[in-house]
Amino acid sequence: MSEGEILSIRNELTGLVISVVSVSFGMISAYIVGLWLFLKNAPLILRLLAFLLMSCGLAFMGVLTGGLNALLLGTERAWSKLGTTSVGIPSFGSERPEFLYGLSMYEASAALGCIAFLAIYITLFFITFFYRWPEDEGRN
């Protein structure tokens, strides 16, 4: 595989990762709007169904992200086999800077993404099933 092919694949994969994250945040935002407008007063079965649908969508995006990560790591391995390159980039994120305490850029970004989405997911679970919304003044 040539340097240009690896860079092209890498660029396409980066665009896909950004799209997956964007769609995931879009799903979460739509769910929050749905909670505020409709689900806060909905019966439990409807809230369960909505939360299950959102969970399935986020699980799909997580699995897709895992597959994209494997492809990104494959481009990293292919890049390292080239030796010297014309662009002078030694790697795409396998460095282990001191401030990341031994984690590579890949590992740190994956961990940060997992922590962020887990916190959001737990918060949405709490808001969906346990939070008591204030009464709307306009409805009384």
Mean pLDDT of each 10-residue bin along the chain, 140 residues long: 88 92 95 93 95 96 90 88 79 82 85 92 96 73
- What pLDDT sits at residue 137? 66
**Type of residue numbered 117:** F
- How far apart CA 137 and CA 140 sit, in angstroms, is 6
The pLDDT assigned to 84 comes to 76
CA distance linking residue 57 with residue 29, whole number of Å: 13
pLDDT score, position 138: 61
- Rounded Cα distance between 62 and 23, Å, is 11
Report which of 68, 61, 53 is spatially closest to residue 25, judged by C-alpha positions: 61
Distance CA(14)–CA(10), nearest Å, equals 6
